[in-house]
Amino acid sequence: MRAGFALLILLLATAFAGAAETPIPAAPARWVTDDAGFMSVDAARSLDRKLEAFALATGRQFIVYIGKTTGGPPIEDWAVRAFEAWKVGRKGLDDGIALFIMADDHQVRIEVGYGLEPQVTDLAASRIIREIIVPRIQAGDHDGAVTAGAAAIAHLLSPEGIGQSDGTSRQPRGPGTQGRSFSIWQLIVFGIIGVLFLILLVTHPSLAIFLLMNVLSSGRRRGSDNSGGWGGGGFGGGGGRSGGGGASGSW
């Protein structure tokens, strides 16, 4: 009888603990998700554009998720389950990384995909949290904490980091023969295409107009697909996994 009563108490305690735990939400639609109002809208939008540009430039997925609480579990457990559920990083490469902040719990976690553990070691992640993120949060600079922390993480993955990129296209690094040779070849190709199109326009005008309309509609579709910014061109998990690498901290 006593054993049965004790088992019942244990089951009830487990059920209540599970009910209090914050469930893993659906995969984020953006690179930066702030469900706690931790950052200013402008800072979150700017960082979102930078992380989108970083993904386009490197292929690596880096997301920031800010919530209120895990509901009880250690942030390490909650973060790795969210990372796995959202499949951050590319399948087979496991090159995703995530910065988690739980505002009400005063906890922060850097979760690193298998493929990035040699570059973002546990020690490096811990230093970023202790020396960059936490001091700024304690000073009341939430925007600076997240932005500077993300920049430090990105710098470990790419020499250029997230820099000042806001999603706009980059200019070539320097002048010289590469730019000029590209322009010459471009003129030659366009010239040949133009001559062929004129011949086709004279001999088969209907076909020429049909081809022209297809080219123009294709260009419009590509422009629509490549649009970015806050709420557009957002994060989509690729199948990455985490082995629990990274670091955690609190303030």
Q: What is the CATH number of the domain that holds 40?
A: 3.10.310.50
Q: Which residues contact 57 (CB under 8 A, 6 or more apart)?
A: 158, 160, 165
Q: Is 12 among the domain residues?
A: no
pTM greater than the 0.85 cutoff: no
The helix/strand/coil state of 57 is helix
Q: Which residues contact 103 (CB under 8 A, 6 or more apart)?
A: 36, 38, 66, 67, 68, 69
pLDDT higher than threshold 90 for residue 89? yes
Q: Is 149 among the domain residues?
A: yes
- C-alpha distances in Å from residue 30, one per residue of 35, 87, 107, 235: 12, 14, 22, 5
Q: Is 46 among the domain residues?
A: yes
CA separation for the pair 98, 39 (Å, rounded): 17
**pLDDT: which is higher, 69 or 170:** 69
- Across the chain, mean pLDDT equals 78
pLDDT higher than threshold 60 for residue 50? yes
Q: Domain of 94?
A: 21-161
Q: Is 191 among the domain residues?
A: no
Do residues 113 and 246 make contact, with C-beta atoms less than 8 angstroms apart? no
Percent of the chain with pLDDT over 70: 67
> What dihedral angle (degrees, nearest 10) is formed by the CA atoms of 77, 237, 31, 226?
180
pLDDT of residue 208: 67
Q: Is 115 among the domain residues?
A: yes
pLDDT higher than threshold 60 for residue 180? no
CA separation for the pair 191, 173 (Å, rounded): 28
CA separation for the pair 122, 112 (Å, rounded): 9
Number of domains in the chain: 1
**Alpha helix (H) ranges present in the chain?**
2-20, 41-58, 75-86, 122-128, 134-138, 142-157, 177-203, 205-225
Q: Is 233 among the domain residues?
A: no
